[in-house]
Every structure is written in structure tokens, then in C-alpha cells.
Amino acid sequence: MENSSAVTLFHPTLSHNKGRKQPAAGPTLLGQRIVALDVLRGFALLGILFLNIETFSGPAILHDVPMGTGKPAFVGWHAQLDLAIVTIKWMLFEGKMRTLFAILYGAGIVLLTERLDRRGPPGTALGIFCRRNLWLLVFGLLHGTLIWYGDILARYALVALLFMYPLRRLAARPLIILGLSIGILGGTFGVARTVHAPEVLAAERLRVEGQAALAAHRVPSPEQRAALDADARERSRLPAKTAESIREGRLPYVRSIAPRADTYLDSLIGYFRSGMFLEVAGSMLLGMGLYKTGFLAGARSRRRYVATAALGYAISMPIVLVGMAMAHAGGFTMAAATRWLYLPYTLEVVAGAIANASLLLLIIRNGWLAPVTAALGNVGRTAFSNYILTSLLCQFVFAWGPWKLYGALEYYQQVYVVVAVWALNLAASALWLRSFAYGPLEWVWRSLVYRKRQPMLRQQLA
């Protein structure tokens, strides 16, 4: 009985559409959706805002660590609260939601192309795959230049277009091994280049040696003196740089387009130049392999999900807890964050993402928290629309609207905005899906990909 219910819940072909004649090449029908993938996608969509809110709400000098912000963190009565929030973020959310998105994107590639290979003539899968990602690239570029420079859609589309299609036919085991290897090793290489780890750590070593020389009443070497001077200049410039960033972050919409576009395009180019794209490429390959094993559909044993979650958290959580403690003790300098948070970043992110997915799949498989998973599934089915909606809402609240809150909130107060946006995502998704089969942007995307206006009302697909 247990196995029967699991198959009915997760298998894509057991549905009320089973008897319908399927078009040779068309989008997934309602009853063909794999519930677990929608729930995971909704979870990732909501979770990623918990990190993105820091970029929406104000400037910072470190990645997802509140340093150099408009309102100083780790001070006053909320110092320990700030530390608790950033630690929870890194333990459960940081990087893990983005990685889960990439895993699900990889799974979606296999799901889409296998279905098209079965139903369509030769070449159909390649054409639709290319159009799907090219249109996502267009949407991503528009999102990144016109709305918010933190877009990830274009990055996923480019990685998929460049690498994924020929690799989709590999067996599950090679895909998983290749994905983990490229994601962890390549991702670590990319992170190290992005944060300029060798240069930062070398400068920190010279600065510490210079301070030690001064404390011992010795003359620092020229290199040590240069490092001390550079650190002093950077500290003295920080208040003015923060104020300038806040001013730019509050620009009216039209005036903000050009600088946002420059920032976004520079970051997109840097993403590939640095090697950071390898993290996403590895995660997509991992997602392909996990989908082929049935793992992402909840089709494996309870023991497998428990063991995978336990192993993932056993790797990720100690790295984060020790790293956060050491970085905090070091004053969250760039060197401290690089050594303790960024260099082990990809290993703990991949492990944590898999652990989060395993725990959620266990919950879904056992039927626990059914109202919560159903609500997450609604968000997952409209993830594209919710992603853009979230950017519009946050940009209006912090930059374009009358409040101009960019750089004005305390670190802990960002959580209030996150919860409010989550509530809107959950409510809007549930209400929309009462009448419509897909989110509005999902419908536009599907219609463009299949070169035909797609049915949108639920009754049209019943």
C-alpha cells in the first residue's frame, strides 16, 4: 500500500490525462506533473529570497554577510540576533537554494527531452530545448537589465545551451559523479577566483606581519607597509562608498536602468570568466542523474532519504558553524570570510542542498505537513512568475516606490519584508491556480517555445 501511494503521487504518467491523445510535441499537461518537483521548486523559490533580500535592501562589502551596510549589524541590542540570523541563513539557505534550482533545472532537461524523444519525430527535442533556453535567456537579460541585476535565469539558460544537451543521455551514476566533481571542484575554483583568494590572503598575511612588527617596535618591510596603508585607505573610504551606494540604490527607475545594466552585464561576463559557472553546470548534471534514479520524484526508500539528509547536514553544518564562529571572531574581514566561509563554500553548499532536498522529499513521501507542501507546490508551479514578481515587489519597496528603504533597515528587519513577500507569493499562487493552469509568465514562455498560443484555463486542460 505504501509503495502504491508513492507511485501514484510521483509518477508522471499516472494521471487523469493518461487516456488522452498527446500531441507529438507540447508542454506537460496538468496531470503529468511530478508533484515532488513542484514542491522542491517552490521551497527553493521562497528560500532564495532569504538571501537575495540583502542585495535588494542595501549595499554590503561581503557576499551575504552584513558588513559595510547602511545600518551596521552586530552592534547594539540586536548584535546576537543579527549573528543568529546570518548563521541560520548560511546553515540552511546560503547557496543551497540556488543549487537546488540548478539541480531541478537539470532534472527538467531530462524530463522534457525524454518525453519529446518518446512522442515527437527526430530533432524535435533539440529544437524545443534550444528555443526554451533561448527564450529564458531573453527573459533573464530583460530581468537583469530592467529590473534587478541579481538575475540567475540567463546564467542557467547559457549553461544549459552550452553544455547540457549532449550530456543528458549519460547514465545516472556517471551523471552524479561528474556533477559532484565539476560542481564541487570547479565551483571551489570559481569562488576562489571570484573573491581573489590568493591576493586577499597574501595581503592579510602582510598586514598581520606589519602590525606585529610595529608592536615589536620594528620597521615593517615595504610590502608590509603597503598592505597596512591599503587597509587603512579602504577603511577610511568605506563610509563614503556606502553612502554613494545607497544614493545610487535609490535612483528613480529610469535613471537606474543604465547603471543596473552595466553592473548586470559585467557580473554575467565575470560569472563565466571566473569559472563560477562550473558550480551550476555540476549541479545541473547532478540533477539529471538524481532524476534518472527516481530520487527527486520521491521514489527511493525512506532509509535512503534519511541517510542522505544526515550525511549532507553532517558535512555542511559543521563547516558553516565553525566558519561563522571563526569569521565573526576575525571581525568578518575579507580575509577571515575568505578563509573560513568562501573557500569551503561549494562543498558545504552542495552537501546542504542535497540534505535539504532529501528532508523535504521525506516529508512529501510520508504525507507530513500536507497543507504546507501543497502551498509550496503552488509556488513551484508558478515559480517563474513568482521570481519576477518578487523582484518587482522588492525593487518597489526599497528603490522605486515612495519609501526608499534601500540601506535604511536594520539587518534583522529585512526578515519582516521576506515574510511579507512570502505571504504574497503563497496567496497569489493559490488564488491564480484556482482558475489557471500555469502562471502568467509560464504561459507566455510555453507559447513562445511551442510557437502556438497555449491553453491557460484549467478547464481547457481538464
Per DSSP, the chain holds a count of helices (H) and strands (E) of 21, 0
75: alpha, beta or left? (left if phi > 0; alpha if psi -120 to 50): beta
| Mean pLDDT confidence for 303-319 | 98
- How many residues would you count in the chain? 462
Task: Tell me the pLDDT tens digit for each residue of 425-460.
Answer: 999 999 999 999 999 999 999 999 999 999 999 887
More confident residue, 7 or 346: 346
Write out the DSSP string of 229-285.
HHHHHHHHHHHHHHHHHHHHHT--HHHHHHHHHHHHHHHHHHHHHHTTHHHHHHHHH
- Orientation angle between helical segments 96-119 and 35-57, nearest 10 degrees: 140
State percent of the chain over pLDDT 70: 93
| Mean pLDDT confidence for 323-328 | 98
Task: Tell me the pLDDT tens digit for each residue of 268-283.
Answer: 999 999 999 999 999 9
Rounded CA-CA distance 199/122 in Å is 51
| Mean pLDDT confidence for 408-413 | 98
- Give yes or no for residue 106 having a pLDDT over 80: yes
| Mean pLDDT confidence for 19-47 | 76
Map residue 62 onto helix, strand or coil: strand
Rounded CA-CA distance 335/329 in Å is 12
Q: Residues with Cβ < 8 Å from 334, sequence gap 6 or more?
A: 61, 62, 195, 200, 204
- Give yes or no for residue 8 having a pLDDT over 60: no
Q: Residues with Cβ < 8 Å from 226, sequence gap 6 or more?
A: 206
| Mean pLDDT confidence for 175-192 | 98
- Give yes or no for residue 14 having a pLDDT over 80: no
pLDDT at residue number 119: 82
- Give the E-state strand segments of 394-444 in sequence order: none
Q: In this structure, is the dihedral angle defined by the CA atoms of residues 283, 284, 289 and 290, taken in order, positive or negative?
A: positive
pLDDT at residue number 16: 34
Rounded CA-CA distance 378/385 in Å is 11
pLDDT at residue number 29: 58
- Please choose, from the candidates 65, 113, 36, the residue with its C-alpha nearest in 3D space to the C-alpha of residue 340: 65
Rounded CA-CA distance 165/155 in Å is 16
Bridge partners (DSSP) of residue 436 are: 457
State percent of the chain over pLDDT 90: 90
The confidence band for 4, taking pLDDT boundaries of 50, 70 and 90, is very low
Residue type (1 letter), 99: T
Domain spans of the chain? 2-461
Task: Tell me the pLDDT tens digit for each residue of 225-247.
Answer: 999 999 999 999 999 999 999 99
Task: Tell me the pLDDT tens digit for each residue of 72-99.
Answer: 999 999 999 999 999 999 999 999 999 9
Question: Grid coordinates representing 350?
Answer: 552542495
pLDDT at residue number 254: 97
Average pLDDT, rounded, for the chain: 93
Q: In this structure, is the dihedral angle defined by the CA atoms of residues 178, 361, 358 and 38, taken in order, positive or negative?
A: positive
What's this model's pTM, rounded to 2 decimal places?
0.93
Residue type (1 letter), 236: S
The confidence band for 5, taking pLDDT boundaries of 50, 70 and 90, is very low
| Mean pLDDT confidence for 161-166 | 97
pLDDT at residue number 26: 60
- Please choose, from the candidates 430, 320, 433, 441, the residue with its C-alpha nearest in 3D space to the C-alpha of residue 389: 441
pLDDT at residue number 460: 73
Write a three-state SS string for 132-169: HHHHHHHHHHHHHHHCCCCCCHHHHHHHHHHHHHHHCC
